[in-house]
Each structure stands twice: as structure tokens, then as C-alpha cells.
Amino acid sequence: MPESTVQSDSAIATEIVSDVENAASKQPIAHAEPKPHLVIEPVKGFRSLRLGEIWEFRDLLFTLGMRDVKLVYKQTLLGVAWVVMQPLIGAGIFTFVFGMLADMPAGELPYFAFSFAGMVGWTLFSATLNGASMVMVTNSHLVSKIYFPRLILPLSSAFQPIVNFGVSLLLMLAILLMYQINPGLSILLLPVSMALLLMLALGIGFWCSSIMVRYRDLRFVIPVAVQFLLYASPVGYSLAAINEKVPVQYQTAYMLNPLASLTEFFRWTLLGQGTISPLWLGYSVLIALITFMAGAFAFRRSERGFADVI
């Protein structure tokens, strides 16, 4: 075989090996595919409230709420008449003490109508707060047996106060007609004032109910605190009376109570008269919103341990 032929074959072989090596260098290196794994992380922010879950259990929310409404007046002689007894009696006492004895101002309004309007709003707030605070203890048999969003319980406790509020509101309208009081366009804001009182009451109730699961002593503190707030808020008297009789240096401390402006605002929506400070009303609205949201977040964070300690 000629020497030139051998050299040619060797060159071809070398070229083929070089092409194979180049092609191999361009191919991606095969790696084993990573096994899929599930990472469970706590939900943060607004999503932690899981409002969609509450919507899924809306039938249970309605059932629990209406159960409370039916149980309260079951086998009672006067039935729903008891609904208006508390605001009527409270308004009568306030009319005698603050209207007659203390001679506190109520503007051009009859003092009974003035104080009854305050009692209607106060009864809505206090009944919602008391119910939401105690609801985890009174429904402990449900918490320890089945799963459902626990936030439904304090929310359902507001059904009865809302129904009672509706009945009291009918009597309030009768009083307005009797005294020929025209609230004007302010009555259009009644749902707003009602919602603010409910949000503040539920927000505090969220905190109290989650704490009461572990510390039952709180149930003795809440009635005392509610009674204190009744007299520390302009329910049986007006903010004008505070401005007239309380020294200026103490008025700011008094107005830090969000119920001061919210109660006066509620009464203004019903009667069309009142002492409304936009600054303090804005402060009270902000406090109500913060209290409601913070209470809901705190309740959600602590609910996972309810069944273990209740």
C-alpha cells in the first residue's frame, strides 16, 4: 500500500474523532431530575384571615346566629318585649338623673328621646361585645369536636344584638313621630354609625374571646368594664354637657375614648342634632377599624390551640 494512502486514511480517522469530540462537547450533560417536594409555609398578611373559608361556611354562620336569636326568647312570657325593656328603663333613669336632677343640656330635644337614642346604640354595642367575648366558652362543645373557621363563632354572636337593634329602632321611630322630631338626611348615615359600633364591639370581642379560652377570669372583668364605659361615654348625656361642665384639660382625655364620638355620631343620625367634631370622629373611625382588623388577626393566630385548652 502506498505511503500516501496510509497517511490519508489516518487523517480521515483523526478528523472523524475530532468531529465526534466536538459534537459531544456541545451536548448538555444529563442530570437526575430533582424529586418534587412540598413546602408548607404559614399564610401571612391579609390572606391569613381566610375570608373565603368563612364564605364557604356561611350557612353555618347563619344557622348559629339564628339559633341564638331563637334560644334567647324561647319559653319567655313577654318574648321580644324584653328587647326594648333595657333601653326604655335606661332612658327613663337617665332622664330622671341627668335631665331632671343634674339639668344637663340636650339641645332642643326632649330628654327622653335624646337618652333613648343613646341607649339604642349602646345596647347594640354592649350586647355584641358581651356575646362575642363569651362565645368560645359557651360553644366549647363545638370547638373540641368538629372543624370550622372559629371566627364564625364571634361573628354569629352579633346576630341577636342586630335583631334586637331592629326591634328597638322601630320603637325609636315611634318616639320620633310622637315628639315630631325630623332627623333629616342624617338618618341616611344610620347604617354607617351602626357598622362602626359593631366593628368596635367585635374587634374587642375577638381579643377577649381568644384570651378567655385560657383565662376564664376575664368573664368577671368584662361586665365591670362595660358598665364603666356606659358612664364614660355620652349615652345618657351629650358631648355638649362635657364641653360645658368638664375642665378643658380633661376633655382631651375623655375624647380618647372612641365611644365618645361614635355614640354622639349614632345619636346625631337618629335625631339630626348633636356635637360632632370631624377630627375626633375621624380618630374614632380609625380606632374602630384598627381594633376590628387587629382583633381578627389575633384571633386567627391563636385559634389553632383552642381545642387543646378549651
Residue type at 297 in one-letter notation: F
Closest C-alpha among 287, 139, 282 to residue 201 = 287
pLDDT in tens, the chain (310 residues): 444 444 444 555 455 445 545 544 544 544 555 555 544 444 555 566 677 788 888 898 899 888 888 887 776 666 677 788 888 999 999 999 988 888 887 878 899 999 999 999 999 999 999 999 998 888 877 777 777 788 899 999 999 999 999 999 999 999 999 999 998 999 999 999 999 999 999 999 999 998 888 888 888 999 999 999 999 999 999 888 888 888 888 999 999 999 999 999 999 999 998 888 999 999 999 999 999 999 998 888 887 766 566 6
pLDDT of residue 1: 46
pLDDT of residue 20: 42
pLDDT of residue 163: 92
pTM of the model: 0.81
CB-CB contact of 280 with 255 (8 Å): yes
pLDDT of residue 141: 78
Residue appearing with cell numbers 336632677: 101
Cα 147 to the center of its chain, rounded Å? 21
Quickly list H helices, 27-80.
51-56, 58-72
pLDDT of residue 148: 79
pLDDT of residue 79: 66
pLDDT of residue 156: 92
CB-CB contact of 156 with 135 (8 Å): yes
CB-CB contact of 295 with 43 (8 Å): no
